[in-house]
Structure 1
Amino acid sequence: MNHSSENHTEQPFRCGYVAVLGRPNVGKSTLMNHILGQKVSITSRKPQTTRHRVLGIYTDNEAQILFVDTPGIHSKEERSINRYMNRAATSSMTDVDVLLFVVDGTQWTDDDELVLNKVSQAKGKKVLFVNKVDKLTDKEELLPHIAQITEKCHFDAVFPGSALKGQNLEQLTATLKSYLPEGDLFYPEDYITDRSERFMAAELIREKLMRSLGEEIPYSSTVEIEQFKFNDKGVLTISGLILVERPGQKAIIIGKKGQRLKQIGRDARLEMEELFDCKVFLELWVKVKDGWADDERALKSLGYNDY
């Protein structure tokens, strides 16, 4: 489809990259999912849910925005997986047209400061999105807080809003589009992500794991998709392997009489059926692989090498 014929000459089509940055758990994935109108990045209330650079693709008749959703940058780099996540987030700041820095209301931590320092040194247009303002008890604090942030780094635009409630997202999107260079589509207009369906399936299982387990286990677990194929009846068969570091963790994930694993599987399957628009048969196994989160080679074999 040729966009130029639809656009008036004074309105050239724009296309470019926007890196979504911020410390863990400020709502970066929720923001991207709401702008796209579809779930591309998994979310949970736990920090460090996002481990990979996921590309969300927003297309309308004026522009295509390629969102790079980064893992939250954090100062503790105790394990290989944490170092990987920081490298992935930092490397995604180069070669983008706009840096979108997301903060959580008037909360400010050392990790926010760390990200702000990286943003201030990066090239490109800079936009500040102050998320979760609907939850602020004292709205008076907002303007002084924004002033403090913008003193440390120049932002081309500032938006207070709420990713979850969709507040101020239209204005934010319009501004992001205006900052992109002129150019044709990078991806077909019906794409919402550059990730494979296999990758999305693994992420959905991981999201359900994170939502149903305690604090420690999600960071000791990962998911491998061993089988992803359609049978002759058009049913998609997916085999997922959940890797943990210790036998005790395996027992917790499986749960009493296998109930927890069944629930994780059921929740993931229902969302997969919606996402892939077909019937899904999902099998899950749990296996102990000691030290996978500390082993660079094991991480690479599990796909943690895409930055």
Structure 2
Amino acid sequence: MTENQTPEQGFRSGFACFVGRPNAGKSTLTNALVGQKIAIASSKPQTTRHVVRGIITRPDGQLVLIDTPGLHKPRTLLGERLNDLVKDTWSEVDIVGICLPCDQRIGPGDTFIAKQIAELENKPKVIAIATKTDLVSKDRVLSHLVDIAKLGEELGIDWAAVVPCSAELGDQLDDVERVLLDLLPEGPAWYPEGEITDEPEETLIAELIREAALEGVRDELPHSIAVMIDEILPRADRPEDKPLLDVFATIVVERDSQKGIVIGHRGARLKDIGTQARHQINRLLGTPVHLSLHVKVLKEWQRDAKYLNRLGF
């Protein structure tokens, strides 16, 4: 069914967005529901920087998931732009799912985000998703659900649903999907069946490289890392049945000292980043790749509008 066709009786379609403070499990949940990695996840805050759309098509509906950066107190121009991106997205979706991880008490950050949602002029339907149930006991999950109900009462949010789940183990993911689809309005499929994201491959490849670079680096470094894809070329001398893609990419940091950290002793760290990212890119594209990485310093790029525009923010 295309966008211009009349939807079948009862077919539902629309857009949903997961929100929450950093590390609430938004990206992991998006990947688990879509069934493939389209949003990078990391233990570091502010990992997500792009709006990534994940598409779930079922016989009775199509759900388009929008994964946004975590709302945070901005310290740079990049931070301000990311927060603007989040709020713009909230006003355009049919459903907002607030992710509240079971392994942490509901705190001021959660209350702040929920209050922002409650005060939106064009109010979407709002559900609460109690994430990371695999990390706690059943009693703790029940206690968390009581706290979520209290949060709704305090802020005047009428939860359309409250769903506990573990994206890591796949527990109750079907419940999350069913709740989201049932809350969507009737409408046509916006994307062809089989399509799982509308993000360009270049963006996804850059994000996989950045994820690999984020692992194991010092706490102050993650926000300073960006990735530019310079070129993607099919290797000319390969037979058709054994293709190889050459991917040339640049890891951008803000200071010379950070460049040294990313490269590591005798290039060992950069080699590890390349190996880890290459395996992920192979899976994404279904084609073997040769990954060539370079590291470049763009001083204070997070605060420079020219650099931000160049890096796609």
TM-score normalised by the shorter chain: which range applies? over 0.9
Structure-2 residue corresponding to 1:247: 256
Residue 85 of structure 1 deviates from its aligned partner by 1.2
Distance in 2 (CA, whole Å) between partners of 1:165 and 1:270 is 22
Task: Return structure 1 stretches of 4+ with deviation > 6 angstroms.
Answer: none
Q: Does 1:215 align with 2:235?
A: no
Gaps of at least 5 residues in structure 2 are none
Deviation at 1:121, TM superposition (A): 2.2
**2:181 corresponds to which residue?**
177
Q: Are residue 186 (structure 1) and residue 195 (structure 2) matched?
A: no
TM-score w.r.t. the length of structure 1 is: 0.93
Q: Which moved more, 1:182-191 or 1:219-228?
A: 182-191
Alignment pair present for 1:128 and 2:90: no
Q: CA deviation at 1:221?
A: 1.3
Query: How far 1:143 moved relative to its partner?
Result: 3.6
Once the two structures are superposed, the pairs formed by residues 73-88 of structure 1 within 5 Å of their partners are: 73-74=71-72, 76-88=73-85
Q: Distance in 2 between matches of 1:294 and 1:109?
A: 29
CA deviations over 1:129-170 (Å, ceiling 9, x no partner):
011123224525224312222212211100122121112211
Is 1:61 the equivalent of 2:59?
Answer: yes
Task: State the 1:2 CA deviation.
Answer: 7.6
Q: How does 1:95-174 map to 2 (within 5 A)?
A: 95-105=92-102, 106-122=104-120, 123-137=123-137, 138-139=139-140, 141-151=143-153, 152=155, 153-174=157-178
**Secondary structure, counterpart of 2:46 in structure 1:** coil
Q: How many residues align?
A: 299
Distance 1:216 1:101 in 2: 27
User: 1 CA distance for matches of 2:91 and 2:84?
Assistant: 12
In structure 1, distance between residues paired with 2:54 and 2:304:
29
Please name the residue that 2:275 is paired with. 266
Root mean square deviation, CA, Å: 1.8
Deviates more, 1:280-289 or 1:115-124: 115-124
Question: Quick one: which amino acid aligns to residue 22 of structure 1?
Answer: G
Q: Is the 8 Å Cα contact of residues 255 and 297 (structure 2) preserved in structure 1?
A: yes
**In structure 2, what residue type is equivalent to 1:240?**
A
- In structure 2, C-alpha distance between the alignment counterparts of 1:133 and 1:13, rounded to whole Å: 31
Cα deviation per residue 1:154-197 (whole Å; 9 max; x = unaligned)? Answer: 11100122121112211111111011121221111111111011
Q: Aligned-pair distance for 1:51?
A: 0.7
Query: Structure 1, unaligned stretches of length 5 or more?
Result: none
1:195 to 192, 196, 199: 199
The alpha-carbon deviation at position 58 of structure 1 amounts to 0.8
Q: For residue 254 of structure 2, what is the amino acid of its counterpart?
A: E
Percentage of identical aligned residues: 37
Partner residue, 2:303: 294
Partner residue of 1:257? Answer: 266
Deviates more, 1:230-239 or 1:176-185: 230-239
Is contact 1:22–1:101 with CA below 8 Å preserved after alignment? yes
8 Å Cα contact 1:212-1:264 kept in structure 2: no
CA contact (8 A) 2:206 2:229 kept: yes
Distance across 2 between alignment mates of 1:160 and 1:298: 41
CA contact (8 A) 2:2 2:192 kept: no
State how far apart, in whole Å, the 2-side matches of 1:218 and 1:134 are. 27
